[in-house]
Amino acid sequence: MRPRVVVTDFLTESRFEEEVLGDIADVSVLEATSEEELLSGATEADALIVFHEVPIGPALIERLDRCLGVVRVGVGFDNVDRQAAGARGILVCNVPDYGTEEVADHTLMLLLAVARRLVTTDQSMRKSQWQYQTMLGAPRLRGQTLGLVGCGRIGTAVALRARAFGMRVVFFDPYKPAGYEKALGVERTATLEELLPQSNFLSVHCPASKETRHLIDRRAIDLLPVGSYLINTARGAVVEHEAILAGFASGRLVGAGLDVFETEPLVCEELRQDDRVIMTPHAAFYSVEAFPEMRRKAALEVRRFLEKTPAVNVVNRHFLVDPRAPLSPKLDGEP
């Protein structure tokens, strides 16, 4: 019998996965919105390809008797229970390298749009107004400090772009090797508390995890300079929505550019109604080039499982007991 590969979440067709896997496996799409739906359709799979919307938790993992591995079509793997999968020998992989530039560009787009008042000014023009009053308070970017929470692939790409605008860049990332800041030509702080009071602009680029949940809370926002801007293209869980609203009320924040939210796809009503917020629907990753690339790369990882060649982007290595598929030696920077 040919192995079965199930592609889940909001994907409606499996063209890219078929291209990569069609000669060795049967690929099917299961458009699930909950783990329960996966329980009735995915338990016979030899491999799963999943997006970020549906949680892959212990109840499903318990039933994955044949599954060699779960591949996240994307970077963030916070919706997959890596430990539960590892305990059953199921590999969890991600696709770390498909959309770094897109997310960095999107971050700068949000930063520029909030700083240069793009949306309110555009709306005013559409009402046949011709005035610069919507620009009042807009800062000169050159010389402003951009604080980065997390300076991995995307944080680094953002730093390079922000430097071209003349911004001073400082990051907090406890896991970057000593001297990384020198190689990049920026500065770093040893703690988040040291980063925040310097950050006229704060941009979040760390993964969502137990450690980073609500890392940016009211206390953190209170440490920002008055009149700051917040950008989040990482994960909604890292920034407490209530803290953004409190930051607007206290004047610590005057603008926010958000691509990700605590309760996707629902967006907190107060944020939606506030024209100091510019929003996009978890879309920073997308480009015509990135979308097929992420899907082909995810399918290639599955191909490695099925052909018993070592999997590359394994993100649950330290939880794995008796892995069901071979894995490559640990890569530098692998979680």
Ligand X SMILES: O=C(O)C(=O)COP(=O)(O)O
Ligand Y SMILES: NC(=O)C1=CN([C@@H]2O[C@H](COP(=O)(O)OP(=O)(O)OC[C@H]3O[C@@H](n4cnc5c(N)ncnc54)[C@H](O)[C@@H]3O)[C@@H](O)[C@H]2O)C=CC1
Which position among 75, 108, 115, 325 is part of the footprint of ligand X (CB under 6 A)?
75
> Judged by CB under 6 A, which stretch of 68-76, 108-116, 150-158, 178-186 contacts ligand X?
68-76
Q: Which is nearer to ligand X, 74 or 152 (CB)?
A: 74
- Closest-approach residue to ligand X (CB): 74
Which position among 82, 176, 188, 303 is part of the footprint of ligand Y (CB under 6 A)?
176
Q: Report the distance separating Cα 262 and Cα 253, nearest Å.
A: 18
The contacts of residue 166 (CB under 8 Å, 6+ apart) are 141, 142, 143
Which position among 51, 172, 201, 248 is part of the footprint of ligand X (CB under 6 A)?
51
The contacts of residue 227 (CB under 8 Å, 6+ apart) are 137, 139, 200, 251, 252, 254
188 interacts with, out of ligand Y, ligand X, none, CB within 5 to 8 A per kind? none
313 interacts with, out of ligand Y, ligand X, none, CB within 5 to 8 A per kind? none
Q: Known catalytic residue: 235? A: yes
Q: Report the distance separating Cα 193 and Cα 223, nearest Å.
A: 7
Residues 74 and 103: beta-carbon distance below 8 Å: no
Burial category of 288 from C-beta neighbours within 10 Å (exposed 0-12, middle 13-18, buried 19 and up)? exposed
Q: Known catalytic residue: 282? A: yes
Q: Report the distance separating Cα 237 and Cα 193, nearest Å.
A: 19
Q: What's 144's DSSP letter?
A: P
3-class SS of residue 215: coil
Q: Which is nearer to ligand Y, 14 or 100 (CB)?
A: 100
86 interacts with, out of ligand X, ligand Y, none, CB within 5 to 8 A per kind? none
Site for ligand Y in 239-278 (CB under 6 A): 259-260
> Judged by CB under 6 A, which stretch of 33-41, 73-81, 117-125, 189-197 contacts ligand X?
73-81
Beta bridge partners of 170: 147, 187
Q: Report the distance separating Cα 326 and Cα 164, nearest Å.
A: 43
With binding defined as CB under 6 A, does residue 99 bind ligand Y?
A: yes
With binding defined as CB under 6 A, does residue 74 bind ligand X?
A: yes
| DSSP one-letter string for 107-123 | HHHHHHHHHTTHHHHHH
> Judged by CB under 6 A, which stretch of 74-82, 212-220, 239-247, 320-328 contacts ligand X?
74-82
What is the separation, in whole angstroms, between the first and last Cα of the chain?
35
Number of residues that bind ligand X (CB under 6 A): 7
Site for ligand Y in 59-88 (CB under 6 A): 75-76
52 interacts with, out of ligand X, ligand Y, none, CB within 5 to 8 A per kind? ligand X
Tokens 């992420």 found at: 294
Binding footprint of ligand Y on the chain (CB under 6 A) = 75-76, 96, 99-100, 103, 149-155, 172-176, 205-208, 211-212, 233-235, 259-260, 282, 284-285
Binding footprint of ligand X on the chain (CB under 6 A) = 51-52, 73-76, 285
Among all residues, which ones are annotated catalytic? 235, 264, 282
